[in-house]
Amino acid sequence: MASSSRALTRFGAAATRLSVAEAVRPYANFATQPILRSPAAISNAARPAVFRQFARTYANASAPAPKKKPGKIRTTFKWLWRASYLSFIVGVGAIIYDGYLDRNPDDQFTPDPTKKTLVILGTGWGSVSLLKKLDTANYNVVVISPRNYFLFTPLLPSCTTGNIEHRSIMEPVRQILRHKKAAVKFYEAEATKIDYERKVVKISDNSDIKGTINETEVPYDMLVVGVGAENATFGIPGVREHSCFLKEIRDAQAIRTKIMDCVETAAFKDQDSSEIDRLLHMVVVGGGPTGVEFAGELRDFFDEDIKKLIPEISPRFKVTLIEALPTVLPMFSKQLIDYTESTFKEEHIEIKTKTMVKKVTDKTVEAVVTNPDGSKSTITIPYGLLVWATGNAVRPLIKDLMSQIPAQKDSRRGLAVNEYLVVQGARDIWAVGDCAVAGYAPTAQVAAQEGNFLARLFNNMAKTEALETRINELSSNLNLKPGNVTEITGEIEGLEKQLRHIKDIKPFNYSHQGSLAYIGSEKAVADIAWLNGNVASGGKLTYLFWRSAYLSMCFSSKSTRLFITYDYINKLLARNRVLVALDWVKAKLYGRDVSRE
């Protein structure tokens, strides 16, 4: 018995030097021995020591190992991942819901035929901004335009190189009108004449497929003219015949086709060296935002895509920007002008300022350059592609209307309007956008604000008319119902108070929000109005701001009603915004499409 006790004691001591798992296993084996099955076999002195050792070992084996607390960085990333995952799920759901609302709008009702007929000409910035804010239940609204879509023109230069697909910056007008409260009529037609004496608009069908009726008249009570302007050639010979303009979708498509024609022809077998230099010389006339952005997009296209696909001709590619003024981007600050010019120099884009184009042929541009000493010299520039991106001219429709109105005889650049955008000398006619002369630059930003102003004006006019009608009805009932004089008088006073508030609409005042321009190499310049001054910036961070700003400005025809954040999500999840963002991602991952068509 003494030897057994000593053995058990030595075993307990050895167990402390083993691992927990190894220490517990021998006790299970010893439990099968006869000595442990007989409690009397263990002395009273040895029993407590053995049991205490067994208890300690068993407790250590059964206790869970202490868990190591995760660090703060790991916890932060864990919550960030969860938030990102949740945001992705919510975003996808919101996009699906937004698309459902777009495809399933609320039912519309037919407006009262006794109400006034409001005719809107054009589907540009001014007209579409008016339509989006206008309460169509107050009028019989008719929209007339030769194109059945709205075009987001700031991103048009990106379409010429395949960075953005043209469908992504087009929004069907009927899609916009379908989401209005009251039904709106739309005619895809060209307005050929405005007879302001008879208050009718003559329209003609300009589509390729003609019906039995090609011309007709549309009467109006109120007319908004927003037909824009056409490209100005300044009477320079050959411009209209040999240049590409950049104002419509078909212009961007024509430029894209011609770029690839020049590239593929230059890569043709045994092509003459001088002809290759001519074909790969792209000339842009106009140093405004459109011309500068197109030059930057063109340079990126060759550096990032053509250079990889056709490396043998890429070093001979050249871009020249011609501007008649002393600087490009004259609406920007001098700091940003200098930054743009230095960036173009790094990108090997040649800028020719103080250069006036005098003649254009199918292969050359003749221009007069004013030298630093004041002397002038004539130069001839061979080109493969010539893009004309400067100046606006009055459309024939506007010229004809101006000739009918004596008060417009001194106006040269468009319809002169007053502070409420009413065409001077005409009844019930308003004008917005590039066809109107309101003392502001002909930009999309001005046209959009003019359209929003007219929407508020027309909505107030309708409310005013309804209140005045109600006041007249109540006033006539004062003598018929003498017992209700106090009640009727109180209602009239309340309506008159509303009327005074509604009538107090201030004249149109343009608020400049700033100017943006892309200059290539993922750089942009921005001159943004901030408080009482301007903030000027340029570079890659400004490029990200340029993209986010243009993405947020893309139009949307629907009004998403998702929980309480519908205003934010509507701004974020517009159809065109999603398409433009996907185009940017696709071009970054797979490159621009170099197909000819």
Per-residue pLDDT of 520-544, as tens digits, reads 999 999 998 777 778 899 999 999 9
β-strand pairing of 281-285 with 170-172: unpaired
| Angstrom distance (rounded) from CA 178 to CA 103 | 10
Nearest 10 degrees: Cα torsion 211, 217, 223, 226? 40
* Other C-beta atoms lying within 10 Å of the C-beta of residue 242: 16
**Residues 442 and 434 sit within 8 Å (Cβ to Cβ):** yes
Helix then strand then coil, % of the chain, to nearest 5 = 45, 20, 35
Q: How many Cα neighbours within 13 Å face the side chain of 353?
A: 12
User: In this model, does residue 264 exceed pLDDT 90?
Assistant: yes
Ramachandran angles phi, psi of 302, nearest 5°: -75, -40
- Structure tokens that stand for 349 in this block: 């884009």
Q: 518 to each of 126, 142, 255, 337, 594, how far by Cα in Å?
A: 24, 37, 19, 12, 21
| Angstrom distance (rounded) from CA 514 to CA 557 | 25
Closest CA relative to residue 431, chosen from 353, 446, 106, 233: 446
Q: Which residues pair with 191 in a beta bridge?
A: 203
Residue keyed to tokens 């824009």: 228
Burial letters 186-203, b for 16+ CB under 10 A, else e: bbbbbbeebebeebbbbb
**Residues 513 and 529 sit within 8 Å (Cβ to Cβ):** yes
Residue keyed to tokens 């960030």: 80
Please give the full DSSP string across 130-155, using - where no structure is assigned.
HHHH--GGGSEEEEEESSSEEE-GGG
Question: Angle 84-87-90 (CA atoms, 0-180°, nearest 5)?
Answer: 155
The pLDDT tens digits for 459-517 are 998 888 877 777 777 676 665 555 566 676 776 677 666 666 666 678 999 998 889 99
| Angstrom distance (rounded) from CA 594 to CA 160 | 11
Please give the full DSSP string across 535-597, using - where no structure is assigned.
EEEEEHHHHHHHHHHHHHHS--S-----TT-HHHHHHHS-HHHHHHHHHHHHHHHH-------
The pLDDT tens digits for 380-408 are 999 999 999 998 999 999 999 999 999 99
How far from each other are the two terminal CA atoms of the chain, in whole angstroms? 103
Give 284's contacts (C-beta < 8 A, 6+ positions apart): 291, 294, 295, 298, 319, 320, 321, 322, 387, 389
Closest CA relative to residue 190, chosen from 178, 179, 201: 201
**Residues 129 and 447 sit within 8 Å (Cβ to Cβ):** yes
Chain Cα centroid distance, residue 519: 18
- Structure tokens that stand for 367 in this block: 């221009």
Q: Which residues pair with 172 in a beta bridge?
A: 149
Give the pLDDT band (50/70/90) at residue 34.
very low
3-state secondary structure 494-527: HHHHHHHHHHCCCCCCCCCCEEEEEEECCEEEEE
Q: 423 to each of 116, 167, 437, 455, how far by Cα in Å?
A: 19, 34, 9, 16
Q: Please compute the mean of the pLDDT values over residues 319-335 and round it to a whole number.
A: 95
Record the pTM.
0.80
| Angstrom distance (rounded) from CA 330 to CA 312 | 37
β-strand pairing of 140-145 with 185-188: parallel
The pLDDT tens digits for 420-436 are 999 999 989 999 999 99
Please give the full DSSP string across 257-315, using - where no structure is assigned.
HHHHHHHHHHTSTT--HHHHHHHTEEEEE--SHHHHHHHHHHHHHIIIIIHHH-TTTGG
Residue-level pLDDT at 502:
67
Chain Cα centroid distance, residue 296: 19
**Residues 322 and 285 sit within 8 Å (Cβ to Cβ):** yes
Q: Please compute the mean of the pLDDT values over residues 251-265 and round it to a whole number.
A: 96
| Angstrom distance (rounded) from CA 334 to CA 538 | 12
Specify the 3-state DSSP secondary structure of 190: strand
Q: Write down all domains in the chain, each with its CATH number in brackets.
A: 2-62 (no CATH), 105-229+394-503 (3.50.50.100), 239-387 (3.50.50.100)
The pLDDT tens digits for 556-570 are 444 333 333 333 334
What's the Rg (C-alpha) of the chain? 38
Residue keyed to tokens 């329209």: 203
The pLDDT tens digits for 268-309 are 999 999 999 999 999 999 999 999 999 999 999 999 999 999
Specify the 3-state DSSP secondary structure of 213: coil
The pLDDT tens digits for 127-171 are 999 999 999 999 999 999 999 999 999 999 999 999 999 999 999
If 0-12 CB within 10 Å is exposed, 13-18 middle and 19+ buried, where does residue 595 land? exposed
| Angstrom distance (rounded) from CA 296 to CA 317 | 13
Q: Is the Cα torsion angle 77, 80, 82, 84 positive or negative in sign?
A: negative
Residue-level pLDDT at 465:
81
| Angstrom distance (rounded) from CA 89 to CA 85 | 6
Give the pLDDT band (50/70/90) at residue 58.
low
- Structure tokens that stand for 394 in this block: 């009055």
The pLDDT tens digits for 66-94 are 655 556 777 887 888 888 888 888 877 87
Specify the 3-state DSSP secondary structure of 135: coil
Closest CA relative to residue 131, chosen from 199, 205, 123: 123
| Angstrom distance (rounded) from CA 124 to CA 141 | 16
| Angstrom distance (rounded) from CA 115 to CA 291 | 46
**Residues 332 and 517 sit within 8 Å (Cβ to Cβ):** yes
Give 553's contacts (C-beta < 8 A, 6+ positions apart): 152, 154
